[in-house]
Structures are given as structure tokens and as C-alpha cells.
Amino acid sequence: MKTQVNDLAIFGGAPAFAEKLHVGRPNFGERERLIERIDQIIERRWFTNAGPYVQELELRLADFLGVKHCIAMCNATIGLEIAIKALGMKGEVIVPSFTFIATAHAVQWQEIKPVFCDIDPETHNLDPRRVEEMITPQTTGILGVHLWGRPCDVDALSDIAKRHQLSLLFDAAHAFACTHRGRMIGSFGDAEVFSFHATKFFNTFEGGAVTTNDDDLAQKIRWMKNFGFAGYDKVVYIGTNGKMNEVCAAMGLTSLESLEQFIAINRRNYDQYRQELSDIRGVKVINYDDAENNNYQYVVLEIDEAATRVSRDELLQILWAENVIARRYFYPGCHRAEPYRTLYPDSGAHLPVTEEMVTRTLLLPNGNSIGAAEIRGICGVLRFAIEQAGEVNLRLAGESQASVG
């Protein structure tokens, strides 16, 4: 409990937590079940290349997501690259800049220009009106991101894609077990791509999947993720190695068995954060639509500095000193990272909402490695720092003067 500004660790007080609390600590199911499955893999000596666990995982995921095809991948970045190639995207593809860098890289990696498009400040997702303005004769596709598991405006984007004959792909890296209009994300657009990275709600250590209802596209993606092989000696496409291995699939099958529990824990933590932060001026916890399913993996704050009078970046420093490793996802925005800032230096002119949002968001830890006491502690630090904004600012200014001097 901090009672004076000197108690903040950034000014020499004891950190609120002895151990670091991370955003993205992996969720983990039944250890014994995982070990049994890994034993089985060793017994079978079938380690990768469409092994039995990968096949089982693909079937279970397709069933869970209500989609015809689920193609497991080694990670979502390769999944995106393969889907983009299989869809025949070229020229320009419209993407948000307010996303993890992999979304943009998957496009640029294939020498396609990612055209950065602004977002809706309420949903943090592509603003369909802005998408329409960014279409040129070179545009071949739209790549929307269901950021924080909140669905894009799927209906409007589908309509735009149809009218302009564009491919529509969704980066659903955050959106496993989330719904749009009561239907699981996974079967919208031409295809969707999930990430099962360790930091994701549902993880396979590293991994991902492409899902689609299109039989031909699914077949093409299956071949492309296996070097283009369509039979033992028959290569029909350029391909790469996007295969998931058996240990990752075993982790996926084990994680699936604990999904309800992961959601319940995330939800409970999220609700507590919301409650504890509800009356702090200038701090908003982003909302999830109660009528839809969400995995509640991301506790995203928007910091309005005019009201908090402590900036988002200062709050970040204060939290880090307390051993709370909060994150500024997705600062500074893809368009301000290389190679995009050099290749497309004027992108920012079209991105006023993105430019504002990257200065406001702050993500806090969630998942089954934290509980009520930790959340109370984290919120207590934030509340105290904002209540003491005047003195905190004076001290921070003094410290930076001293470090300059």
C-alpha cells in the first residue's frame, strides 16, 4: 500500500511485487495430460508432417469454430503469408497500422504494399468508411484484424470486398473463441488466421491455423504449407514449411480441455480490473460486448492524459518499477516501424485515430498466473499515481533534470 509518493518504487520505494508480472504469461491446462500425450508421441515416433495429434486438433478446432476446414500452422505469421499467397493477393492490400507488426510484415514480405488504413476509435478495428477511401486500381485485398478479439465490422467489410471484387482475409490472432453475431470467428471472409503463440489465450507453445469454408482454397493452403507437395513426389505450387509439429498439437489438445476455465479466469480478472479502475479519472478499460463471446485475454486501458495528468508512458514507467510489466501494444503503429516509415513516409497523414490511439493504450496482465490480490495491487498503484499526479510529475521532472545534469 502506497501512502506517499516516495513509496512508489520509481522514487526508491519497495516494489509492490517481488516477482515480475507479465502481460502474456501462458495459460496452461492439465500438466499430466500433456505429459501423457508427449509420451505417446515418443512411443509412436511420429513427430511432425500431419501426425495424428495435428489431425485430431484440426478436426476438433474446425468443429469448435463451426468451419469446414482448419489447417494447423507453425505460427500465425506463416499462416498469414500462405493465406495471402493462396488468395492471389498482389499490388496493394489494405491493413490497419494499429496491430502487431506481423500483420504488415506478412504482406510486405511478399512485396505487396500494405496500405495502412485508419481505425474506429470505439472498436480499434478497421473503419470501413476509411477502407473504401483507400481502394485504388492496384488494391487486391483487405486484411482486417479482430483486435483484442473484438470482431471487425465484418458485414461492412464483406460488402466492400464484394463490390470491389477484393479478397477478404482476417487476422484472428486474438480472436479464438470469440463470436460475431453469435457465430464463432473463423468462418468470415475468404479465410481467417489464428495465432496459438504462448502469449495467446489458447496456445500450442507456438502455432496457428488458417480456417476457411472454401474447399479449393483449403486444398491450396494445405499444399502450400507442405512445400507445395500434392503427393509423395508431386509438387504443384511454390510452397513453404508451415507445418505444426506433434508436441504443439498435443499442447493444443490439452489446452482445449481447459478452455472454459481459461475464459472464466480471464473474465473474473477483467471484471475486477473494471470495477477497481471504474472511478479513476481518465482511465477507461475497453469494453467487450456482453451479447457476444470473448476470451477476455486482453485488459486494455485507454489513458486520457488530459484527465490523468500523468502520461501513459509515465504510468508505464511507474508500473515497471513496481514489477508490473505492462505493455504499450501496439506502439508506435506499424507505419512508424521499419521498413514502412522509410518506404511509405506519408502514411501517417491518413491515420489520425491510430496516431492518437498508440499514445493511449496500456495493457495489463491477465490469465491464470494472476489473481485478485495482484489485480488489487496493480490498480492501487495506478490509482495512487494518478491521485498524486501533481507531485509525481514534479518528481519525474526533477529526476529527468538530474539525469540530464
Q: Enumerate binding residues for ligand T4K (CB under 6 A).
A: 22-26, 75-77, 99-100, 102-103, 145, 171, 173-174, 195, 197-199, 208, 325, 329
**Residue that has been written with the C-alpha cell 502520461 in this structure:** 311
CA atoms within 13 A on the CB side of 256: 17
Helix, coil or strand: residue 135: coil
Identity of the residue, 25 or 268, whose beta carbon is nearer to ligand T4K in the bound complex: 25
User: What is the DSSP code (8-state) at residue 327?
Assistant: B
Q: How far apart are CA 208 and CA 252, in angstroms?
A: 10
Shortest reach from residue 56's CB to ligand T4K, in Å: 20
Closest CA to 186 of 198, 199, 173, 197: 173
Shortest reach from residue 165's CB to ligand T4K, in Å: 25
Q: How do 191-195 and 208-212 pair as beta strands? A: antiparallel
Shortest reach from residue 171's CB to ligand T4K, in Å: 5
Q: How far apart are CA 126 and CA 351, in angstroms?
A: 11
Identity of the residue, 370 or 389, whose beta carbon is nearer to ligand T4K in the bound complex: 370
Q: How far apart are CA 225 and CA 78, in angstroms?
A: 8
Among left, alpha and beta (phi > 0; psi -120 to 50; other), residue 145 is beta
Residue 136: Cβ-neighbour burial (10 angstroms; 0-12, 13-18, 19+): exposed
Shortest reach from residue 149's CB to ligand T4K, in Å: 10
Shortest reach from residue 23's CB to ligand T4K, in Å: 6
- The secondary element (H helix, E strand) that includes residue 210 is strand 208-212
Name the residue with the smallest CB distance to ligand T4K: 24
Q: How far apart are CA 159 and CA 182, in angstroms?
A: 19
Q: How do 92-96 and 113-117 pair as beta strands? A: parallel
Identity of the residue, 75 or 293, whose beta carbon is nearer to ligand T4K in the bound complex: 75
End-to-end CA distance of the chain: 32
**Residue that has been written with the C-alpha cell 499467397 in this structure:** 85
Shortest reach from residue 228's CB to ligand T4K, in Å: 21
Shortest reach from residue 184's CB to ligand T4K, in Å: 18
Within 44-195, strands assigned E span 69-73, 92-96, 113-117, 139-145, 167-171, 179-180, 183-184, 191-195
Identity of the residue, 204 or 258, whose beta carbon is nearer to ligand T4K in the bound complex: 204
Shortest reach from residue 340's CB to ligand T4K, in Å: 15
User: What is the DSSP code (8-state) at residue 280?
Assistant: S
Identity of the residue, 57 or 173, whose beta carbon is nearer to ligand T4K in the bound complex: 173
Identity of the residue, 2 or 192, whose beta carbon is nearer to ligand T4K in the bound complex: 192
Identity of the residue, 76 or 370, whose beta carbon is nearer to ligand T4K in the bound complex: 76
Identity of the residue, 99 or 388, whose beta carbon is nearer to ligand T4K in the bound complex: 99
**Residue that has been written with the C-alpha cell 508505464 in this structure:** 316
Identity of the residue, 203 or 388, whose beta carbon is nearer to ligand T4K in the bound complex: 203
Hey, what's the torsion of the CAs at 362, 367, 370, 373, to 10 degrees?
70
Shortest reach from residue 152's CB to ligand T4K, in Å: 12
Identity of the residue, 77 or 266, whose beta carbon is nearer to ligand T4K in the bound complex: 77
C-alpha cell at 358: 498508440
Shortest reach from residue 133's CB to ligand T4K, in Å: 23
Q: What angle do CA 322, 323, 329 make, to 5 degrees?
A: 105
